[in-house]
Amino acid sequence: MSSSTTESSSARAQEVTVTEDTLTVELADGRSISVPLAWYPRLAHGTLEERDNWRLMGEGIGIRWTILDEDISLENPLMGRASGESQRSLKRWLEQRTYYPESG
């Protein structure tokens, strides 16, 4: 019998979509997972342009948003875990944040 840890460690992301309220990851095995954007405050504070500027890490085991300085291990949304960033760290990031206005 497979454990959820084994399933999460073998999962690979291939596409990412971030809307106003949801982070959705399409997996290479055909599954799709969606979690509340509120779980990842840096993404929630990002513009649409910033949220769309992501890249896969480690052959799909993680996702990186360079402009937002956010890395999410695929294991976290698979296991139902929100960001572990402290409120103090988030506040400091927000105070130092450089906004990149959307074009249009």
Q: Which residues contact 4 (CB under 8 A, 6 or more apart)?
A: 78, 79
Q: Distance (Å, rounded) from C-alpha 77 to C-alpha 13?
A: 11
Pairing type for strands 62-65 and 55-57 reads antiparallel
Domains and CATH numbers, the chain: 4-96 (3.30.2020.40)
Six token digits for residue 25: 């990851």
pLDDT of 5-51, one tens digit each? 445 557 999 999 999 999 999 999 999 999 999 999 999 999 999 99
Q: Distance (Å, rounded) from C-alpha 4 to C-alpha 68?
A: 29
pLDDT of 51-97, one tens digit each? 999 999 999 999 999 999 999 999 999 999 999 999 999 999 998 88
Q: Distance (Å, rounded) from C-alpha 42 to C-alpha 37?
A: 9
Q: Distance (Å, rounded) from C-alpha 83 to C-alpha 104?
A: 31
Q: Distance (Å, rounded) from C-alpha 40 to C-alpha 18?
A: 11
Amino acid residing at 13: A
